Amino acid sequence: MSDEEPHAGEAIPLNMHRKRGRPRKDDSPMVGPLKEIKACDGQVVMRAYMDDRSRKSKEWAEVTPRSVGCELSAEEKMAFLRCVASLRRMSHAKTLAVRSSGGTFETPQPVILAGELMGISEVVAKRVHAEFQRSKVLPDGSGRGIFERAFVIQTLFGQTYLESWARLVVQRCIAVKKRPSYRDITEGMQELAKQQARDESSMIEEEVDEGFINNVTAALTYQRVRRWCRANKWIFKKITKVKGIVSDNSATVAACTRYCRRFYAEVQNGNVIFIYLDESYCNEKHAKRFAVCKVDDQSTWSDEVKDGRRLCFCTAICEEGEISTLDSNRPADSRDSRWTFSPNKDQMNKKDYHASFDSQNFQTYFREALLPACERVFPHKRLVFVMDNAAYHVSASFEVQAEGRAVSVHRQSRKNLLVQFLQAHGQEAANMSMLRVELEALFVSVSEELGCDIARLLRARGHELLLTPPRVSVWQPIELYWASCKNEVAKLYRQGRGLVETKKQLDDSLTKWGTAAHCSKLIKHTTQLVATWWQAAQAADAQQDAPHAPEDHIEIHSDCISDDDEHSSHSD
C-alpha cells in the first residue's frame, strides 16, 4: 500500500502492516473483506484473526480518539455505536481484547469502554447509547440515512394479534395472582401463536404442519417480544395505583383545625416531647413488586401479591430516633418497646392486618412496654403521643359499681346504669324519668369529654394524647419511617426466606433507620405539611371575613389530605 497522505475527502485504506503485540500472520485469515471508511476523528476499525492454537476467531478494535471538548458529530456518534456493538459481540463471545494506546482492556461494559477509547465522557456516552436504544434510529449525517429497526414479529403476526395476545397473557397472570414478566408474555405468545396456526389449519380443512408451527413460534424470541413490548408501552415497572384526593369538606377541615390548634399549643411548651406511634406489617415474601403492564390501561395493572406468613409490629419514633433504640440500656426485667409478633391463623385469614390488633393487646403493650420506655428515655418531660384514629387506639371502657361489683357501662346499657354513670360524672339532673335517647346523648357527651382509655391513662401521668385527623396519614412521619424500613427488607428478599430471617431483617432495618438524623428529617417534613395547611386555612378564613369578600364559597385545597383506609395508610 502507498504511504502517501490521501487527499481531503478520499477514503483512507486500512493500515495492514503488523504492529507490536499482534499475532503473527494476522492479516491473511481476516474474516470478511476489509472495508475502507471515511476519514473522521472517531474512526473505528474492527479486525479479526484466527488463533493458530485454538483455531478460534478473535477480534480487536482500533480506535482513533476524537478531539476532546468538541461536540459529537453524527459520524462520531455512528463510530461510537459501531464500536459498542463490536465490543458487546466480543464480550458475549468472551474474546474481548481491545487494543489502544493505553494497552489492553478487558471489561464487561462496552459502552464505558468505547467512550474511554474514543475520548468521550461516560455521561455523554451513556446518553448517546440510551437515545439509540430508545428510538433505534441512527444519527443523522451518518451516510446511511435514518434507519429504524423494524419489528420482525409485528411483520409476521400483525400488531392486532400481538396486542391481544399480550393483554390476554397479562390478564391470565393477574387472575392467578402472579406478577407477569416478559418471560411469561413470551411463553404465552408462543402458545397462542401455535393455537392460532392450528385453528386456521382446521378452518381451511388442511392437515396441521407441526414443523411450520414450530417455525412460527421460533420467531417469537424473548428479545423480540421484549423489544416489541417496550416500544408499545408494555413496561416492566412498579405498580402504584394513584389514590384519589378526598374533598376538603367541612368535617375534614374542622378535624384538621382542631388538630392544628392542639398541636401548636403543645409546641409552645418547651418541655414537650412528641412521640409518633403506629402499627404496620411485613410479609415474609415482601419484595420490590414489579410487573409488566400497559401503562395507559389500568385493567392490566396487577394487584399487590400478599402471600406467606405475616409479621405485625409496632414502635414509636421521636426527633431523637426510635424509642427502642434510645432505650437500649433498659432494666433486665422490662419489656422492649418494639412489639413484633406473628398473628394466629384466624387473624392471618383476614385481609386487613388491623384485625391482629385489638384494644386489649394494644393497651397492654402501651401501658406495660411503650409508656415506661418513653418515660425512661425522657424523664421529667411532658410526652405527647401522636396516633391515628384506629379503633383500638380510641376504645373507651367505663365502669360503675352495681350489686357489689364493677359493671361495664356503654351506650346500650340499662337505664339505671346510665343514670348512675352520669350522676357520678357531674350530671346530677339525670334520672329514670328521662327518655333513653336523652340519656344516651348525655352519655356520648360525657364519654367524649372524659376521653378514651389511653387518653385518661396519659392524663393521669401528666402526658397527652393527640389524634391525627381521619384520612390524613401524610401528617404522620412514622408512615415515612415504615417506607424506609420495609423497602430495606424488600431489597434483602431471597427465594425461600422464612419468618425468622424476615424478623431479623426487619429488626435490623428498624434500627438502621431509627437514627436521630433520619427521624428528625421525616418529622420536619410532616411538620412543614401541617404548617402549610394551617396557613392556607387561616388565609381562607381571613378572606371570607373581609368586608368586600365575594359570597362564593371558598374551599381549602390541600394535597396533604389523602383518601386512605378507615384506619391509616401504610407504605409498602
Average pLDDT over residues 361-371: 90
Average pLDDT over residues 434-442: 84
Instruction: Scan for cell 481484547, then name that residue.
Output: 97
Output 538 or 99, whichever has higher pLDDT: 538
C-alpha to C-alpha distance for 39 and 8, rounded to whole angstroms = 8
Provide the residue ranges of all domains of the chain, joining segments of one domain with +.
Answer: 1-149, 152-232, 250-396+451-540, 397-450
Residue 470 in this model has a pLDDT that exceeds 60: yes
* Selection from 39-43, 128-132, 234-238, 302-306 with the highest mean pLDDT: 128-132
pLDDT of residue 383: 94
262-287 burial, b at 16+ Cβ within 10 Å, e below that, comes to ebeebeeeeebbbbbbbbbbbbbbbb
Q: Which of 64-73, 123-132, 176-185, 250-259 has the lowest mean pLDDT?
A: 64-73
Residue 322 in this model has a pLDDT that exceeds 80: yes
pLDDT of residue 509: 93
What are the tens digits of pLDDT across the range 398-417?
777 777 777 777 777 788 88
Average pLDDT over residues 170-179: 81
Output 22 or 279, whichever has higher pLDDT: 279
Residue 66 in this model has a pLDDT that exceeds 90: no
Residue 458 contacts by C-beta under 8 Å, 6 or more apart in sequence? 371, 383, 385, 464, 465
Average pLDDT over residues 112-140: 79
Tell me the residue length of the chain: 572
Q: Which parts of 420-535 are beta strand (E)?
A: 464-467
CA 80 to chain centre: 35
pLDDT of residue 385: 94
pLDDT of residue 5: 43
- Domain 250-396+451-540 is classified in which CATH homologous superfamily? Ribonuclease H-like superfamily/Ribonuclease H (3.30.420.10)
DSSP 406: E
Distances (CA, A) of 281 to 357, 359, 451, 473, 569: 11, 18, 28, 16, 12
Whether pTM exceeds 0.85: no
Instruction: Scan for cell 350522676, then name that residue.
Output: 423
